[in-house]
Chain A
Amino acid sequence: MYLNVRDATKIYGTFTALDRVSIGIDKGEFVCLLGPSGCGKTTLLRLIAGLAELDGGEITLEDANLSQMPARKRGFGIVFQSYSLFPNMTVAENIGYGLKIRGVARTDIAARVAELLDLVKLPQVADKMPGQLSGGQQQRIALARAIAVDPRVLLLDEPLSALDAKVRAELRDEIRQVQRALGIPTLMVTHDQEEALALADKIICMNHGTVVQAGTPEDLYHRPATRFVAEFMGISNLLPPEDIAQLFPDLLPSRRESERAQLACLRPEQIDIASVADGAATIRSISFLGNLRRLQVDTTVGMLTVETHGANPCRVGDRVALTVAPDACTWVIDDTEPRKAVPA
């Protein structure tokens, strides 16, 4: 691994924000830290950036220990959710600031700034002040500023969260293109699973200050290890073995008795639905979402969510039969049981 975090621990007072977290990023890899707010993902990014100090563990880059190195000496690029362009500098001065600090000649800075403005598709704004740009434009400039100094690692802290949906999708693709083109190892923090699925080579899913699962987007979506990951990575039907025995007995053999996994995870699109006059299930509601329909189906064990693509004659109240391919389900550990209340 290029960048390695081993047993990173961060404690704020009595609250353990990060508990012995270990992750790695390879050269050229795009890694997403995914998790709900308060899971420790931003803390981990700040530790890597050098903006917070480790309380335990170590961070190494190509085997050099970074733990005691201040942020300004790490040579990383960072983009914040809040754009954070310097309001007193023009766009060009913002982008060139890191180079100016490094003592790069004025003409070289100008050339590099022009090149970066082209890269982020805003060649006309060099002399504008940040306040004159839209949110999406500001974030592109922030990205250009971060990569201007050829950072050894690019850190993105929820860079798209403050933007509206359409701009977000555009910029998401551009971040990916730029990262691919330059091959900068990148770590992005996000709470949006769709963003993580679309961008990442590897997703690290976090909860309560620990890593729950790390893997490719496909791994996390189709083979979640725990109930938390299954629920966080999209809609899922989670059923205990008793219910599976009742509804889809064919799936039971895929569960190994030795495993701690207690729940079957069935994605809504993995369940096939057919109108049958004497079907055991009933459609309770249908949401039309454009490219698909999401159905709530009442079964003998409770509500299941099913998604269908294309034309579908089903209507609310129809009796239906549900079927699932025998290898479609993943057994997951139930890690979201109610935590014991801590006495105050």
Chain B
Amino acid sequence: MNASETIQQRARHQRLDADRLLTAACVGLPLLGLILFFAYPMIIVFLRSITVGDSYGIGNYVEVLGSSGFWRATRHSLVMGGATTLVSVFLGFIIAHGLYRCAFRGKWLIRAIIVLPLLAPSLVQALGLIFLLGRNGVISRALGVEIEIYGFWGLLIANTLYALPQAVMIIGAALVLLDARTYEAADVMGASPWRQFRDLTLPSARFGILNAGFVCFIITITDFGNAAVIGGDYSVLATEIYSQVVGQRNFNMGAVVGIMLLLPTVIAYAIERQAMKRQQAGQTTGQVPYRPVFAPPRDLCMAALSLLICACIVAVIGIVVYASFVTLWPYNMSLSIKHYDITLAGGYSSLWMTILISLGAAVGGTIAVFLLGLGLRRLPHVLAQPVQILAAMPAAVPGMVLGLAYILTFNSTSTPLYLLYGTAALIGIVNFYHYHTQGFLTVMTGFRQLPPALEEAAGSLGAGLGRTACDIVAPFIAPMLVSVFFFLFMRSMVTLSAVVFLTTPQLSVAAVTIMRLDDAGLTSQAAAFSTCVMAVVCGAVLSMKVILAMMQRRRAE
């Protein structure tokens, strides 16, 4: 048999092998989704930004760049992003340092409180601040001063509270990496605690701090909820897109502003990924976790600071829950449940719809990233690499831009995709692709921990790809899949930016309803609706904790 015959035979064989077909499907279907629901809409939004009349040109950009409103919004976005980043990274470092490098009791409380802002739509921080510091706020009335909470300062506080959990988690993850033995060595060499902090803790956390900074910056400049509720006249790019599209029906200009917003986020995201790689490169195996010993001046101080920050979070979110039960804020402070009778069109239907959509996004999304991870393991590196890059790209795209891209793509009758427009399915899809990167990276982390020998052992025992996936791979990375499922569910429950363009009078989601209630002056009802959403999400978090704990116990048994 000569060489070409061998190659032909191999090619024929590869076509027929069921496992190869399955691998192709595993990668192909999620990839098709990424192209159709991420890459294609992003191309459309770019094309629309350069569409002038019936032809292409840079006219829109010239117009936008020439408008003072755009430059003001850009300046505001950058200043707000920078200020929020500084404050939340500083506070985040204090809390992370307290949690991982100090010894005091009650850390579980801080851990629990610090994630609260993630469990609510971003506009809840803004609502809470209005109830605390607004014209009729508890604090303003108690002090008898009028505080102008709408605008820069209110937005800064709201954004900081929203970005803080991310900062704590990222910096904490970096601090955990430093080995106890390093500190023991420093002790033996005679380094003082302050020197250890300066020479060991800070340098080891520097990539974490950098990383947290970029993440906070991205979160802030892309957030829409807080800016819409408490921003007042302080226009930022996210609200500018909204007013262009919803206020002035000027889609092309909205697309231009969207592309301009995309620039800083893509740059920040690219740098963040690099910083992440550097941090991971410094990781070593066989670590001895650091166990801090009680040092009164340091620990009491850190505990007090952490608790103070946590108290602010609790106050802002708690006041929303409290206000939702107050009969007539601030005149009749007796408690009632009348605000839970939502009077705006649709009532609670949007809450049920959001739960349904979130479940759909979570189930579909978890399956999609699992299949993608499964297939990518079996692809040669040259093919897997570009798919991985594409899968990690959605994180760089602000929700507003993705939502705008969707309305431009799916509200056009030129393709059959139009059938999806105005359906709950499309909202589920946009939520999944909005948070695709985080889900994908989580699953890939799980796959990296899976020893190839397990799959090879199953293969040599006669199991095909389908069987191996169900019997070996899925059980192994089940904790990751559970995490991804609940992550997608929770984000879908609370996200506003991507879906704000896709809701219709007949089809709304919870975060949009809260915004509409607040717009309509029904602030207490907005608070009541927020409380319901938070209750659902808290329930989801608790279920996730229980399920993960059960899995861990089963495995340990």
Q: Which residues of A contact B (CB under 8 A)?
A: 49-51, 68, 70-78, 80, 82, 84, 86-89, 97-98, 101-102, 129, 131-132, 142, 145-146, 149, 155
Partner of B475, one of A70, A80, A88, A97: A88
Take A84-B451, A129-B557 as given contacts and tell me if A101 and B460 are in contact as well, using a CB distance cutoff of 8 Å.
no
Most chain A Cβ neighbours within 10 Å, of B19, B453, B458, B476: B453
Does B36 sit within 8 A of A, measured CB to CB?
no
For the complex with contacts A86-B458, A146-B461, 13 further pairs of A-B residues with Cβ separation under 8 Å are A51-B459, A51-B460, A68-B13, A72-B19, A73-B462, A78-B456, A78-B460, A80-B453, A82-B451, A88-B472, A102-B462, A131-B556, A145-B457
B463 to chain A: closest residue by CB: A101
Q: Which residues of B contact A51 (CB under 8 A)?
A: 456, 459-460
For residue A84, which residues in chain B have a CB less than 8 angstroms away from its CB?
A: 451, 453-454, 456-457
Using Cβ atoms and an 8 Å threshold, which residues of chain A touch B475?
A: 86-88
Q: List 28 A-B contacts (CB under 8 A).
A: A49-B460, A51-B459, A68-B13, A70-B17, A71-B456, A71-B460, A72-B459, A72-B460, A74-B460, A75-B462, A76-B460, A78-B456, A84-B451, A84-B453, A84-B456, A84-B457, A86-B458, A86-B475, A87-B475, A88-B475, A97-B458, A97-B471, A102-B462, A129-B557, A131-B555, A145-B457, A145-B461, A155-B460
Q: How far is the CB of B474 from chain A (nearest CB, A)?
A: 9
In the complex, whether B273 has a CB less than 8 A from a CB of chain A is no
Shortest distance between the CB of A149 and any CB in chain B (Å): 6
**In the bound complex, CA of A102 to CA of B458 (Å):** 12
CB closest residue in chain B, given A128 = B557
> How distant is the Cα of A69 from the Cα of B476 in the complex, in angstroms?
27
With most chain B CB atoms within 10 A of its CB, the pick from A80, A129, A142 is A80
| Residue with the greatest number of chain B CB neighbours at <10 A, chosen from A73, A75, A86, A131 | A86
Q: Known contacts A68-B10, A84-B451, A88-B475: does B555 contact A78 (CB below 8 Å)?
A: no
Q: State the Cβ distance, B469 to closest chain A Cβ, in Å.
A: 13
Complex contact B555–A149 (CB within 8 A): no
Please state if A72 and B10 are interface contacts (CB–CB under 8 Å): no
With both beta carbons as reference points, the residue of chain B lying nearest to A84 in the complex is identified as B453
B249 at interface by CB-CB < 8 Å: no
B interface residue numbers (CB < 8 A to A)? 9-10, 13, 17, 19, 451, 453-454, 456-464, 467, 471-472, 475-476, 478, 555-557
**A148 nearest in chain B by CB position:** B461
CB closest chain-A residue, reference B474: A88
A86 to B450, CA, bound (A): 11
Chain A residue, CB-CB nearest to B12: A68
**A70 cross-chain contacts in B, Cβ below 8 A:** 17, 19, 459
Question: Complex Cα distance A78/B463, Å?
Answer: 13
List the A side residues contacting B557 at CB < 8 Å: 129, 132
User: Are B462 and A86 in contact, CB atoms less than 8 angstroms apart?
Assistant: no
Please state if B456 and A97 are interface contacts (CB–CB under 8 Å).
no
Query: Could you say which of A50, A71, A98, A145 has the most chain B C-beta atoms within 10 Å of its C-beta?
Result: A71
Collect the chain A residues with CB atoms within 8 Å of residue B19's CB: 70, 72
**Docked pose: A199 CA to B17 CA in angstroms:** 38
Which B residue sits closest to A93, measured CB to CB?
B471
Residues of A within 8 A of B17 (CB): 70
Q: How many A-B pairs fall under 8 Å by CB?
A: 81
Q: How far is the CA of A291 from the CA of B408 in the complex (A)?
A: 85
Bound form: Cα–Cα A275–B331 in Å: 113
Bound: A129/B556 CA distance, A: 9
Asked if A149 and B476 sit within 8 Å, CB to CB, the answer is no
With most chain A CB atoms within 10 A of its CB, the pick from B457, B467, B476 is B457
Q: Would you call B451 and A72 a contact (CB within 8 A)?
A: no
Q: How far is the CB of A48 from chain B (nearest CB, A)?
A: 11
Query: Within the assembled complex, what's the spacing in Å between the Cα atoms of A322 and B471?
Result: 65
Is the beta-carbon distance between A101 and B461 smaller than 8 angstroms? yes
Contact yes or no, B464 A72, CB < 8 A: yes
A46 nearest CB neighbor, chain B only: B456
Q: How far is the CB of A61 from chain B (nearest CB, A)?
A: 14
B472 contacts A86, CB within 8 Å? yes
Residues of B within 8 A of A88 (CB): 472, 475-476, 478, 555
Q: Is B459's CB under 8 angstroms from A71's CB?
A: yes
B552 to chain A, nearest CB (A): 12
In the bound complex, do residue B467 and residue A77 qualify as a contact, i.e. CB atoms below 8 Å apart? no
With A68-B10, A87-B555 given, is the CB distance from A78 to B467 under 8 Å?
Answer: no
Flag if A72 contacts B556 (CB, 8 Å): no
| Complex contact B462–A82 (CB within 8 A) | no
Question: In whole Å, how far is A84's beta carbon from the nearest beta carbon of chain B?
Answer: 4
**Residues of A with C-beta under 8 A to B555:** 87-88, 129, 131
Which residue of chain B lies nearest to A80 when distances are taken between CB atoms in the complex? B453
CB contact under 8 A between A80 and B456, given known A86-B472, A102-B462? yes
Alpha-carbon gap, A132 to B451, bound state (A): 19
Given known pairs A70-B17, A87-B555, the reply for A50 and B460 (CB within 8 Å) is yes
Contact residues in B for A73 (Cβ distance below 8 Å): 462
Complexed CA–CA distance, A76 and B476 (Å): 24
Q: Is the CB of B463 within 8 A of A72?
A: yes
Query: Smallest Cβ distance from B94 to chain A, in angstroms?
Result: 39
Q: State how many angstroms separate the Cβ of A244 from the closest Cβ of chain B.
A: 48
Q: Specify which chain B residues have a CB less than 8 angstroms from the CB of A129 in the assembled complex.
A: 555, 557
Picked from B453, B459, B464, the residue with its CB within 8 Å of the CB of A82 is B453
Q: How many Å from the CB of B58 to the closest CB on chain A? A: 45
Q: Which residue on A lies nearest to B17, using beta carbons?
A: A70
User: Within the complex, what minimum Cβ distance (angstroms) separates B244 from chain A?
Assistant: 52
Task: Give the residues in chain A near B478, CB-CB below 8 Å.
Answer: 88
In Å, the complex CA distance between A152 and B98 comes to 60
| Contact B467 A101, beta carbon cutoff 8 Å | yes
Known: A68-B13, A101-B467, A129-B557. A86 touches B454 (CB 8 A): yes
Kindly provide the distance from the CB of B453 to the nearest chain A CB, expressed in whole angstroms: 4
Does A72 contact B457, Cβ atoms closer than 8 Å?
no
In chain A, what residue has the closest Cβ to B472? A86
Is B461 in contact with A149, judged by CB distance below 8 angstroms?
Answer: yes
User: Nearest chain-B residue to A69 (Cβ)?
Assistant: B13
Report chain A residues within 8 Å CB of B9.
Answer: 68
- Which residues from chain A contact B556 at a C-beta distance below 8 Å? 131
In the complex, A72 Cα to B22 Cα: how many Å? Answer: 15
- How far, in whole Å, are A101 and B460 apart by their CA atoms in the complex? 11
A139 to chain B: closest CB distance in Å? 13
Shortest C-beta distance, A20 to chain B (Å), equals: 15
In the bound assembly, the distance between CA atoms of A146 and B478 in angstroms comes to 26
Give the distance in Å from the alpha carbon of A132 to the alpha carbon of B557 in the complex.
8
User: Smallest Cβ distance from B83 to chain A, in angstroms?
Assistant: 48
Q: How close is B421's CB to chain A, nearest CB, in angstroms?
A: 43
Which residue, of B451, B458, B460, B476, has the highest number of chain A Cβ atoms within 10 A? B460
